[in-house]
Structure 1
């Protein structure tokens, strides 16, 4: 005689009990009561020895309490019962890693990501495991995968990877000096109407006296020296250390004195606001793909703020800019070694302590194509290289927010109704004077 009804009831009751213990274990796990959760999962397994999810979650609970060997046994039993999941492989890999079984850990986490590539924690931990295997290229590839998916984990992994540039003492190094000049017509500066500024009463402390702020993208001396050009050496794998001084971007009178800088990936900038107004500082990275915003945070009046520079490997340029006052901006070029300099008012530059060798040299200005050169540094000797840019080669994109009425509000229908009328009689603290260089014959025989 059979009792299908009673037998069915018995099976149902057994599953209900097992699932009740299993559910209790999940709730305890979510509250981080791992030891108590493990006890509940064991009860579920005792009632239903084929409860594969209970085995899988028991493995997680045991690993969280440091019982990694026991956790691996639980994971193995779940897999024997037919349960194979990306998270199981990932947690199994973490247990292997905790037991310093790196190869096994790498294998499991790689399998996990093949099953589900969305687990950013798995990408991050796989990068750390690659570091233990000295697979630096693979670790850097994990940073690239994380870059647009979880920037915090990407930066954390990036900081854990040794930089490609190695520091060493430079014995009998050489030096480089030179000059950057501009021929042809000097491009006009950019004029920003102060009437469009949200803080016109303060921003007009620097003015041309006619209601505009001037941004000098090209500063050329009477002797045709070009200021604010970065000269950098490429292809130097090791040498002197980077400076330990944090690089500052000082905001004073809605102006920053460093129009161009050299920036290395991973460094920290200090944004120092000396003004009594807020600056809404935004940073951008520029590459062949275009521009991407990297950070956007206000810097309160009379405060300082640190901002990490963390960009994609192919990034070429970097921009620090105030969205409220677009004439406040600093432009940077990415560097991978400390051998770079910025040309002064006469276009002069110098770089010291260069390891002997032959290197490529790049002269960079934000709005003109790069100039390239090659130098050979002899031990203890000084090399020389000059660069000459032509005003005819300038490629300057004018963005709408940099040019006309960035903060012009539609409720005002004209200049006359905006801030009570055009401010052409600004109370000026610092007069910005723009004097175009007089026409004269140039060295190449052309005229401006």
Structure 2
């Protein structure tokens, strides 16, 4: 017998629904919260996250934009806006969003990797390698294995500098050897 859970609409209810994977219901909850208080930056941000989870990236970008109009220093909104733009192959805009996220939070390590991906997908090897190098310097265990298998780097995978960078970042603690 399945227990029914009653969740009140609003920002908190939307978060709970998203955590349960019920993103459409979460969006409805955020929409109800926004009807009561349209200037709720957190509801706009969380709505963007839920829309992104459903693959509705354009609408998610709009929600992040509304959150950023209310709270322009929200580095996570800039970062997630960049993620959606990247998924829509709008790489220049994604990079600009990542730059803003990095300006607001220089400790966001993921920004360097995401920028490297955007540059690689545009076959801009030098910029991709420079940003990947930063990511690998800051968190080699996280990004070395990712970069070795990430299809975003396929266009530059044969680049000697790219290969050297990955081999140079290899450490014995990384479980699997590189297959370049």
1:213 alignment counterpart = none
CA-atom RMSD in angstroms: 3.0
Structure 2 residue 171 is matched with structure 1 residue 294:
yes
Secondary structure class of the residue paired with 2:172 = strand
How much has 1:109 moved relative to structure 2?
1.1
Distance 1:22 1:150, change over 3 A: farther
Quick one: which of 20, 32, 36 aligns to 2:21?
32
Number of paired residues?
164
Q: Please state if 1:49 is matched with 2:38.
A: yes
Report how far residue 107 of structure 1 moved. 0.7
Contact 2:9 2:30 (8 Å CA) reproduced:
no
Contact 2:82–2:98 under 8 Å retained in 1: yes
Taking the TM superposition and a 5 Å limit, the aligned residue runs for 1:47-86 are: 47-86=36-75
- Structure with the largest fraction of strand: 1
2:146 to 153, 156, 178: 156
Higher helix share goes to which structure? Answer: 2
In the TM superposition, 1:295-334 aligns within 5 A as 295-296=172-173, 307-308=176-177
Using the size of structure 1 for normalisation, the TM-score is 0.33
Note if 1:100 corresponds to 2:89.
Answer: yes
1:134 Cα deviation (Å)? 2.2
Contact 1:96 1:105 in 2 (8 A): yes
Instruction: Give the alignment's TM-score, normalised by structure 2.
Output: 0.75
Partner residue in 1 for 2:110: 121
* Contact 1:124/1:154, CA 8 A, preserved across alignment: no
State the secondary structure of the residue aligned to 2:21: coil
CA distance in 1, matches of 2:49, 2:118: 20
Q: 1:136 to 1:80 in 2, by over 3 A?
A: same
Pair 1:144–1:72, CA change in 2 (3 A) = same
**Distance in 1 between the 2:46 and 2:59 partners?**
12
Larger Rg, first or second structure (1 or 2): 1
1:110 to 91, 96, 99: 99
Tell me, which stretches of 5 or more residues in structure 2 are unaligned? 1-7
> Residue 53 of structure 1 contacts residue 83 of structure 1 at CA under 8 Å; is this kept in 2?
no
Change (3 A) 1:131 1:293: closer
Change in CA separation of 1:140 and 1:27 when aligned onto 2, cut-off 3 Å: same
Give the whole-Å Cα distance in 1 for the aligned partners of 2:166 and 2:42.
Answer: 42
Higher RCO structure (Cα 8 Å, ≥6 apart): 1
Query: C-alpha distance in 1, partners of 2:144/2:132?
Result: 5
Structure 1 unpaired stretches of 5+: 1-18, 166-263, 268-284, 286-291, 298-305, 311-448
